[in-house]
Amino acid sequence: MISASSSVTAFPEAAAPIDQSLTRPVSLVQLLKLTPLVVAGALLMWSIFLPYWEITLHAPQYPKGITIVVNVDSMGPAKNVREVDGLNHYIGMMKLDDAAKFERQISLFALPLLAALVVVSFFFRGWLALAFRLPVIIYPLIFIADLFGWLYYAGHSLDKHAPLSSSIHEFTPRLFGHGTIGQFSTDAVFRSGFWAAVAAALITLAVVIWDWRSGRAAKA
């Protein structure tokens, strides 16, 4: 007959102690790190419902201007979009709804995914945690780069057969501030949704720096 003591000897892994890190309660310091990550994720989710960018077009027939508001998944108001498309037709510019179609289609899936990744990153360490947080940190820069790319494309792919094509040269509408295009002028500004995403990025970056400094202190 095999005794209990001999079974433990035969299978030493059965007697190995349980990893205490799996059962250890979350410390106050860890909770302090989780809180900003949750806030960052919440800000990113909130930004979906807020305007990211706004441009107002001034023309002789519209002295008060026509404003287009851009969200991550839409732009409007619809009446203003039609009015601007009508004006853009004269200089041969593409329709507004033809810009960033793919980005608007995936935004309602991509942003919740980024928000989830930044919260889940709390349960990882090292490079894996950084990999989960990096998309949130660079997201505002990606938005700016994508928006600038579409503005550049719209102003450099003009229809040469448009009524006013001979009087308008290729141009890039202003991403921010005041710009002039022939008889038209524009005023562009980033709105609350974009700044909420920036706040989420900065909070996440602060946690990354916190982790880095904590790691250096532990090795010292």
The residue among 64 and 114 whose pLDDT is bigger is 114
pLDDT higher than threshold 80 for residue 219: no
pLDDT of residue 29: 64
pLDDT of residue 217: 60
Lowest-confidence segment of 123-132, 161-170, 175-184 by average pLDDT: 161-170
pLDDT higher than threshold 60 for residue 133: yes
pLDDT of residue 67: 97
The count of C-alpha atoms lying within 13 angstroms of the C-alpha of 162, restricted to the half-sphere facing its C-beta, is 21
Task: Read off the DSSP letter of residue 20.
Answer: G
pLDDT of residue 180: 87
pLDDT higher than threshold 70 for residue 139: yes
Lowest-confidence segment of 60-64, 139-143, 148-152 by average pLDDT: 60-64
pLDDT mean across residues, the chain: 86
pLDDT of residue 183: 78
**Beta carbons within 8 Å of 202's beta carbon, 6+ residues apart:** none
What are the tens digits of pLDDT across the range 19-55?
444 334 556 667 778 999 999 999 999 999 999 999 9
Query: What span, in angstroms and rounded, lies between the C-alpha atoms of 220 and 218?
Result: 6
Query: Could you write out the three-class secondary structure of 137-203?
Result: HHHHHHHHHHHHHHHHHHHCCCCCCCCCHHHCCCCCCCCCEEEEECCEEEEEEECHHHHHHHHHHHH
| pLDDT mean over 182-204 | 95
**Domain coordinates of the chain in residue numbers?**
43-219
| pLDDT mean over 179-186 | 84
Pair 106, 112: CB distance under 8 Å? no
Query: What span, in angstroms and rounded, lies between the C-alpha atoms of 148 and 218?
Result: 43
Pair 68, 75: CB distance under 8 Å? yes
Could you give the angle at the alpha carbon of 114 between the alpha carbons of 112 and 115, nearest 5°? 60
What are the tens digits of pLDDT across the range 100-113?
999 999 999 999 99
| pLDDT mean over 142-170 | 90
Best CA proximity match to 151, nearest among 47, 44, 57: 57
pLDDT higher than threshold 60 for residue 13: no
**Between β-strands 53-59 and 184-190, what pairing exists: parallel, antiparallel or unpaired?**
antiparallel
What are the tens digits of pLDDT across the range 79-94?
999 999 988 888 899 9
Percent of the chain with pLDDT over 90: 64
Percent of the chain with pLDDT over 70: 85
